[in-house]
Structure 1
């Protein structure tokens, strides 16, 4: 497919170079520069294709959109970029996931019978477990407690919080299976603009829901384009906080302990060459 559609080939080469940057540490910068060049070419050509897309371009456009999204997810991790605005990082990925979903919906609506059947994720596919199995129980327990808190909440945003919580529970609950909604990586696709505004405004229930998503991302750290994404999100969200309300202190405490454990594990792996 890629040999017939240069924008898809460039997206494959961009993601491949980024992957090599994650493996060949001594050549990281060289591979990052190559990845950036291919990604720029991808986006330039992809934009032209989407503007006047034809029937035979929908499948390669969908695959390219997935690779562009994975690249955006992985680049800050692999390049060691640091951002203080964790929500902006998530919103960028959310926009790209939305693009993937829109093209996929169009594929279904058009009834295209192409080459992607064997590639699409099965909800029963399991993650490659190797480190974080002990954390799911704590995250789900905390989520359940948060659900009870939301039930008794009397703010005008209670319905919004309940819907956001439900989507997050559906994302994390099936793990290590991906689940019907794409797992925790896909959760930003289901959050409402109103919720995003509440996080930005510092609403504590919204913050705590977002932090549970960040903790959930730690479960998929085995993916090379995720790695310590969850730890980084927790750290970027918690670090600026000053006065934490008593009701949330225990929650914030175990999340901070978790990212400290992650830091220790990452340091050990780095020293061990893995």
Structure 2
């Protein structure tokens, strides 16, 4: 019988026990300490001297994989509805791309803008909660299929981030510069495609057209290159413009031309605007909108008297006067109806439809600074204040009413009283309008 000393000297044991300086149970096919810890026993793999084979009834995978009798695979674990591996994009390593320099490098700023859009900007696109998931998921999924829409998405996020910075800061300048670069990249492919909409690009064209509106309102100017778009954006609607150059009213009318162009895009792409994207096209029904308050009703009743008020509309051409009067009342009736949406936050964006559906003759009168057209526009502008909670529309209502007040003679003050009161303007005794918040 060998001595204790000779037995200890010939015993190698497993590596785990030796590392812990504890005695290894060499008599077992594998160390019981390793079994308890559910780890692979090196004694089982390497064996003591003269023993190197693994028992055929044990699996290394079984010995190394912890198991719990309390664990049951969930539906998430089993992933029964997971698409086949071939339908998912492969990584560069799996795809067999050996040289990392062959890969398209991600711009960290672009990733920042995509993340910002997906967490913040999409919520600001509309007040209606049911559209948020469309802006976040449906539009983003479409952007992954069309580069021009992805550039448009990043341009919108960059503009949003810029508005959150001080205008004198370097960050504001940087985000504005990036927004312009993405706008140009988006328009480079949007412009040739928008004249040939089809089932493949129809939804993407529609979505970018909506982004165009956001850019125009946020930047207070037309995006570069838009003049070459062949759809009817209204450049030829009026042979002459009498509004002062750089007037906020004129700038806004130009933006409205984009809105009218978007309406044309909607008409062209309508056959393919199906599924989740249809939620962006839904309009309120009459029961969705409450009636006007007594104050607003009184303001509209007063406004209806303007065409027959000899103090402000002297009759020079009866035929022309009758035409303008009819147009005025048509637009006034539509404004009475549409402006009810300002009382319901969910439908505030519906206020735009008053201009989108406006006839060309009214747009021409507005560009010519016709007083009756401007008075109507002042009331719409005051109601447009319901959109001030959107970063891209903020401040327009105040700016427009101030500008119209300067464009009209003081004897129109009676008809401007309600719009001025809505946006905080004070009419001074010296017959000049003083803009105050």
TM-score, length-normalised on structure 1? 0.77
Give the Å deviation of 1:47: 0.3
CA distance in 2, matches of 1:235, 1:181: 22
Kept after mapping to 1: 8 A contact 2:248/2:403: yes
Secondary structure at the counterpart of residue 175 of structure 1: helix
Alignment partner, residue 96 of structure 1: 258
Q: 1:137 to 1:182 in 2, by over 3 A?
A: farther
Kept after mapping to 2: 8 A contact 1:90/1:188: no
Alignment partner, residue 74 of structure 1: 218
Q: 2:361 aligns with which of 188, 191, 194?
A: 194
Secondary structure at the counterpart of residue 393 of structure 2: coil
Question: Is 1:33 aligned to residue 199 of structure 2?
Answer: no
Kept after mapping to 1: 8 A contact 2:259/2:356: yes
Q: 1:200 to 1:49 in 2, by over 3 A?
A: closer
Question: Is 1:238 aligned to residue 405 of structure 2?
Answer: yes
Q: 1:150 to 1:99 in 2, by over 3 A?
A: same
Secondary structure at the counterpart of residue 186 of structure 1: helix
Give the Å deviation of 1:68: 0.8
CA distance in 2, matches of 1:22, 1:217: 20
Q: 1:177 aligns with which of 344, 359, 373?
A: 344
CA distance in 2, matches of 1:137, 1:123: 22
CA distance in 1, matches of 2:367, 2:281: 34
Q: 1:52 aligns with which of 181, 189, 196?
A: 196
Give the Å deviation of 1:20: 0.7
Q: 2:413 aligns with which of 246, 249, 252?
A: 249
Q: Which structure is larger by alpha-carbon Rg, 1 or 2?
A: 2
Alignment of 1:96-115 (within 5 A): 96-108=258-270, 110=271, 112-115=273-276
Q: 1:19 aligns with which of 160, 166, 184?
A: 160
Per-residue CA deviation, residues 194-239 of structure 1 (Å, 9 max, x unaligned), is 2233334443222211111111111221111111101111112222
TM-score, length-normalised on structure 2? 0.50
CA distance in 1, matches of 2:301, 2:350: 18
Aligned residues: 249
Alignment partner, residue 168 of structure 1: 335
- Alpha carbon RMSD of aligned pairs, Å? 3.3
Secondary structure at the counterpart of residue 342 of structure 2: coil
Alignment partner, residue 131 of structure 1: none
Alignment partner, residue 218 of structure 1: 385
Q: 1:119 to 1:189 in 2, by over 3 A?
A: closer
CA distance in 1, matches of 2:369, 2:425: 27
CA distance in 2, matches of 1:204, 1:93: 21
Give the Å deviation of 1:164: 1.4
Give the Å deviation of 1:15: 0.9
Alignment partner, residue 117 of structure 1: 278
Structure 1: 5+ residue runs without aligned partners? 78-82, 128-134, 266-274
CA distance in 2, matches of 1:216, 1:48: 36
CA distance in 2, matches of 1:205, 1:217: 18
Give the Å deviation of 1:58: 0.5
Kept after mapping to 1: 8 A contact 2:156/2:179: yes
Alignment partner, residue 208 of structure 1: 375
Kept after mapping to 2: 8 A contact 1:143/1:169: yes
CA distance in 1, matches of 2:297, 2:391: 24
